[in-house]
């Protein structure tokens, strides 16, 4: 019986030690937790910036290559659509970042724990995300519309050039081909 109690006591001590380690991981010192939060936020902002640079930068690179070739009204329409999309998307992302940052700053001043600060920040961002259908979808529709206009122009140009090159009207007469 004594051995059973000793064995049980060792198991309880091992469980307590495991619980202490888990608790220590969850309750990091205040500065470490805030450093982790700030690094997480910086990674999110960096990822969003990369997506913006690639997507919109790629569009503007293609768009400027057709500046002199595309009809002015089509060039202007696609430019207006992508500018509107860019304005909406950047405004939405800036609003989310500003609200999240303000929430974290207020949480720091109130002395909240890292988990409480994250919850508070997530609630604030959820309010902004409620506007998503009214901002994000028009941004996507106008951005994709502008992209489709430019791609459509590239496709139209490609097929019209290919058709005119294969057209028998432009080919020299057979008599000219046969002459040495």
Contacts of 45 (CB under 8 A, 6+ apart): 97
Using CB atoms within 10 Å of the CB of residue 77, give its burial: 0 to 12 exposed, 13 to 18 middle, 19+ buried.
middle
Terminal alpha carbon distance of the chain: 115
Domain parsing of the chain, residue ranges = 31-167
pTM of the model: 0.59
Q: Which of 14-18, 78-82, 107-111, 112-116 has the lowest mean pLDDT?
A: 14-18
pLDDT per position as a tens digit, 52-90: 678 888 898 888 888 889 999 999 999 999 999 999 988
Q: Position of tokens 């990091």?
A: 28
């Amino acid at each position: 019986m004594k051995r059973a109690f000793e064995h049980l006591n060792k198991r309880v001590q091992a469980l307590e030690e495991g619980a202490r380690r888990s608790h220590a991981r969850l309750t990091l010192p205040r500065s470490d937790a805030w450093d982790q939060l700030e690094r997480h936020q910086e990674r999110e902002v960096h990822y969003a910036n990369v997506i913006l640079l690639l997507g919109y930068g790629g569009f503007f690179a293609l768009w400027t290559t057709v500046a002199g070739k595309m009809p002015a009204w089509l060039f202007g329409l696609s430019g207006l659509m992508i500018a509107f999309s860019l304005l909406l998307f950047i405004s939405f992302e800036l609003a989310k970042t500003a609200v999240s940052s303000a929430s974290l700053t207020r949480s720091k001043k109130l002395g909240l724990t890292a988990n409480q600060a994250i919850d508070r920040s997530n609630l604030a961002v959820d309010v902004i995300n409620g506007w998503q259908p009214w901002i994000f979808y028009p941004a996507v529709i106008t951005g994709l519309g502008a992209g489709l206009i430019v791609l459509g122009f590239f496709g139209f140009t490609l097929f019209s050039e290919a058709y005119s090159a294969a057209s028998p009207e432009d080919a020299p007469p057979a008599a000219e081909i046969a002459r040495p």
